[in-house]
Amino acid sequence: MYFPVNDQELLYLIKDGNEAARRMLYTKYEHLIPKLFKDVFHIRQIMFADFKQECLMCLEKAIKTYRTDLKCSFYTFYLLIVRRTIYKLYKKSNLFFQEQHQPYDQEKEQEAYPPESYLLKILYHELDFEGEVERCIFEDCIIRGEKITVFAKKRALDYPFVYKKYKKIKEKAEKILTNYLV
């Protein structure tokens, strides 16, 4: 559907109290909601009706809080609010689900290994390090976030050698985590 006015004009009219402009803006952005839902359909806890309602509330929030001095368009601002809201809802529902429906044996296991080290335990078990250098690259560069150049200088190693090992370990770890989490 084509709209002869842009978002800035519609927002200006809405601030003046024009309800026709508000309906036009809602109609303009309502077609976007199914497309956004397809992006987050893997989150099964959200029904389309709830998602649409959240998006419309985000649109109202975007209308009230958008400022013209921002360096982004209204469309970008609205998408940012929707994505942040959906992320917060997903995070809340996921934490609630984990707290309420955790089996007893999993609780015992997580006491021994905190959540951040549970995946590390799996990675250490699944990754077959060919030597001490690969294990150190994994610990220092991937886990602690040390730069590859700093790591190579500390250990007097050749940068291309360290970089190739880093890429190889990172790809193996990503493949393991993808297979584990999917």
Identify the pLDDT of residue 112: 43
Render pLDDT for 9-41 as a digit per residue (tens, 0 to 9). Answer: 888 888 888 898 889 888 888 888 888 877 766
- pLDDT-based confidence at 141, cuts 50/70/90? confident
Cα 117–chain centre separation:
21
For the chain, the average pLDDT equals 78
CATH of 7-100, one of 1.10.20, 3.40.1350, 3.30.70, 1.10.1740: 1.10.1740
Work out whether the CA dihedral 27, 29, 56, 21 comes out positive or negative.
Answer: negative
With contact defined as beta carbons under 8 Å apart, do 8 and 68 qualify?
yes
Mean pLDDT computed over 70-86: 87
Query: Domain residues of the chain, as ranges?
Result: 7-100, 104-181
Cβ-contact 166, 173 below 8 angstroms: no
Per-residue confidence (pLDDT) for residue 108, from 0 to 100? 46
Q: Contact, 24 vs 2, CB < 8 A?
A: no
